[in-house]
Structure 1
């Protein structure tokens, strides 16, 4: 049984004749101890998917699913009080921008202790000792003095480490990292990723890594989910996806990695933008940007089909040579 199992997840905003479906018919699963990468451009629905799973979509957002379960427990039908016992303890999330996620009015120690109070029986001196232990675990130098520091006194990298410390405070079974290296220097990005992987191994956590940068997850994720305009367009083992992408969008993302443009005068790019509420195509959502789109793509919405261990949403998936099947 999967640790997290999501089937036909929909997230809709707005009412009336033209509601916007930010996530549509999404299927996703992850096992204990597994690292899953979710990739796609900004606006693909990656973060919204995880926020919906955690119950963090407020009105006017509407979340529905055929199945949304964690460790065999139904998250959709669960009472709010029961869900609060799981979210933050068994499921934790590192949000995109650490500087805005931390409360500027409270010290690092206060915020760590508040998390521990909510989800553990620790009290008194044991709380402060555990908070110090967490800062040391995420390799913050001079951890004891940092307990009394305010967020504005920390660098971006240290703030991110504090967010990681808060997320792992209760030894979660599933950790979700949403763009954990945003706005950090390249060297700091590498340190944060190494830290996350080490913590994942030490605690045998499942880790979902949300990013628009395929290079970030290329060497650490066992499985990849590629999203576009609120839909999953390809799911595959990481090695397979990088070696033989089956969806034209995946192929375009991989081609845009700078290493793939060595010797070229210009970087490879994918023209256009992810469609919004008022410019969504009738058929395949990628069709206006796809080099291989045909009349069927423009008029019909493609289903997910299995191909050699990969699931792909395309009428003309690419073969092992990167050529669409209709050519």
Structure 2
């Protein structure tokens, strides 16, 4: 049984489909990477899973299952019990996610109290253990620090500590290294990978960094304009991209443009609410577009959403 199963997920804001028929699954202990440019629906997909889409957003799905449980059929109370304990999320900006009015130790202890019923000395002991687990030095004293007293990298480690506090089966990391130094980014990624392996949890990594996905993930889903346009194993998808958008993303990596006067780029922008094509959503930007691409939207078949896939199947 899959740890996570998403089928035909749609998130609508008025007339705008931010997520448009996404199918995904995550197996126990698997690391799935989700990539795509800004506005492709990566974060909104996972926020819908976590129940974080507020009005006027509307979430529908044929299946939104976690360990066989249909999340859309759970009561708000049942879902709150699940979220944060068995399924947790690390957001991209730790300083805006943490409450500046409370110490980091208090905020981690809140998670332990809400989901495990830990209080007092037992909770404090577990908080120190978690801070040590995410490699925060002098953990006993740092639990009394406020977010503004810690660096960006330390606050991100605090967010990870909160995420893994209840030993979740699934952890979602949404751009966890945004605005961090390159060396700190590497440390955070190494930390997440070590924790994922040690605890055997499923990990969904949302990122713009294709190099991170290539090194860490078992599978990768490429999203564009709210749809999964290609999904496949690593390194297969990187060695043989079949969708023109995946091909363009890989071609834009600086290492692939050595000696060139300009970086390779895909012209145009992601379609918005009022300029969505009736056919393939990439058709206005695609160098391989054919008449059928403009008329009818392709389905995701054999891991690629394209009438004329590149490379070999």
State the 4+ residue runs in structure 1 displaced beyond 2 angstroms: none
| Structure 1 unaligned blocks of 5 or more | none
1:189 to 179, 182, 185: 185
Normalization by structure 2: what TM-score? 0.98
| Structure 2 unaligned blocks of 5 or more | none
Tell me the residue number matched to 1:202: 198
Q: Distance in 2 between matches of 1:117 and 1:315?
A: 52
Q: Distance in 2 between matches of 1:181 and 1:269?
A: 24
Normalization by structure 1: what TM-score? 0.94
Between stretches 119-128 and 164-173, larger displacement belongs to: 119-128
Q: Distance in 2 between matches of 1:305 and 1:229?
A: 18
Tell me the residue number matched to 1:267: 263
Tell me the residue number matched to 1:111: 107
Q: Distance in 1 between matches of 2:196 and 2:105?
A: 23
* 1:11 lines up with 2:7 in the alignment: no
Between stretches 71-80 and 260-269, larger displacement belongs to: 260-269
Q: Distance in 1 between matches of 2:244 and 2:209?
A: 17
Q: Distance in 2 between matches of 1:75 and 1:140?
A: 34
Tell me the residue number matched to 1:319: 311
Q: Distance in 1 between matches of 2:208 and 2:272?
A: 18
* 1:277 lines up with 2:269 in the alignment: no
Q: How many equivalent residue pairs?
A: 313
**How far did residue 204 of structure 1 move?**
0.3
Tell me the residue number matched to 2:243: 247
Q: SS where residue 163 of structure 1 aligns?
A: helix
Q: Distance in 1 between matches of 2:167 and 2:259?
A: 46
Tell me the residue number matched to 1:2: 2
Q: Distance in 1 between matches of 2:20 and 2:234?
A: 23
**How far did residue 145 of structure 1 move?**
1.3
Q: Distance in 2 between matches of 1:12 and 1:275?
A: 15
Q: Distance in 2 between matches of 1:185 and 1:271?
A: 29
Q: Distance in 1 between matches of 2:181 and 2:266?
A: 26
CA RMSD of superposed structures (Å): 1.0
Between stretches 291-300 and 20-29, larger displacement belongs to: 291-300
1:219 to 193, 215, 218: 215
